[in-house]
Structure 1
Amino acid sequence: MSFSRNLLICFLLLTGAGAQALAADADKDAQYRLDELLSSDPQYRQTWQSLIEDESRLPDWVMNLSGTATPMQAVDEQGDKYLVGELCEPHNCADHRLYVAFSWDKEKAYALYVKVPEGLPADKSPSRHASFRWLGDPDEEVKRILDDQLKSDPNWF
């Protein structure tokens, strides 16, 4: 009886520690925001600069990742892990958005730039009128990750 009780206590302690470790990992991911990422690590800055160097006609807030950002999150897709975040044009989040995925090793970056026509009536679906621009030649897996981020917005229909 004592052995079973001790085993149960150990199990509860270990599962509690595991949950705390998962919560700590989630908090660690949440500490990153796209608008702070380039100044936080030179490797992110170099990878982003490599991505946009051959792109034309991007607004400054996209090129510098200087918009309004939400906390980033780790996404694991079939064994490939990415740090994913959203950024939007300051004071115009409904019409101009950027979704970015950095590979976990910081070697690759991909993005989805979404523009909705300004002045679109509220009863019109933004998804039907938006233009989409992929940056960094993402494969289907990365496209799905970034597209899922966009579709998770409750105002996107």
Structure 2
Amino acid sequence: MFKQLGIIASLLAAPGAFAAETTFSDLVKTPEGSKALTALMSHQQLPSWIRTGGVESPAQTVTVKGDDYQVYSICKPHNCGNQQFAVLYSAKLKQMSGLYLQNNEKTHRETLQWLNISDALSIDGKTILYAATSGSLSNHPKAFNYGE
């Protein structure tokens, strides 16, 4: 049994054994990501858990009009069904767009707060961000690539 555990441990420690999965907290620890998030959140009424941390999913890559974007999604700890946040981030363009989604448990109504959605992203960006909060992006990642 110890031999099997040793083999598993060596596979896990081997460089390149598994691709590194980045998360929203990884992004905002970088100078570029932190600056983009600060710009995105300025003049907005958003909860502090977005900056301090939530329950995260690994980033996914999508293409919109020829540019690659990373899609990050997080939700409020212990309240994922009611408060979610998703961002599209382009390292090339140094641009971040987002969606803050709140669900009212009593009325079963969603409130969507769109953040920095440029004309270039418009409906495609909104579709991707909403798909990230609903789980559709995770379930059908190739369905959310939009070319020219």
Structure 1 length-normalised TM: 0.66
**2:24 corresponds to 1:37:** no
SS across alignment from 2:58: coil
Letter in structure 2 aligned against 1:48 = L
| Structure with greater strand share of residues | 2
| Structure 2 residue runs without a partner (length 5+) | 1-15, 138-148
User: Which residue number in structure 1 is paired with residue 36 of structure 2?
Assistant: 47
C-alpha deviations, 1:10-35, integer Å up to 9, x for none? xxxxxxxxxxxxxx7x934xx21113
Which of 109, 117, 131 is residue 111 of structure 2 equivalent to?
131
Q: RMSD between aligned alpha carbons?
A: 2.4
Larger RCO of the pair (alpha carbons < 8 Å, separation 6+): 2
| Structure with greater helix share of residues | 1
1:38 Cα offset (Å): 1.2
Do the aligned partners of 2:85 and 2:133 also contact (CA within 8 Å) in 1? no
Which of 89, 92, 99 is residue 102 of structure 1 equivalent to?
89
Q: What is the number of residues matched between the two proteins?
A: 118
C-alpha deviations, 1:19-66, integer Å up to 9, x for none? xxxxx7x934xx211133211x111101111111121x211012x151
User: Which residue number in structure 1 is paired with residue 58 of structure 2?
Assistant: 71
Identity %: 25
User: Which residue number in structure 2 is paired with residue 59 of structure 1?
Assistant: 47
Letter in structure 2 aligned against 1:149 = A
The ranges of structure 1 where at least 4 consecutive aligned residues each deviate by more than 6 angstroms after the TM superposition are none
Q: What does 1:83-98 correspond to in 2, within 5 Å?
A: 83-98=70-85
Do the aligned partners of 1:44 and 1:106 also contact (CA within 8 Å) in 2? no
Structure 2 length-normalised TM: 0.70
Letter in structure 2 aligned against 1:143 = K
Determine which structure has more spread, i.e. the larger CA radius of gyration.
Answer: 1
Counterpart-to-counterpart distance in 2, 1:78 and 1:148: 18
SS across alignment from 1:144: helix
Counterpart-to-counterpart distance in 2, 1:37 and 1:134: 20
Q: What does 1:8-23 correspond to in 2, within 5 Å?
A: none
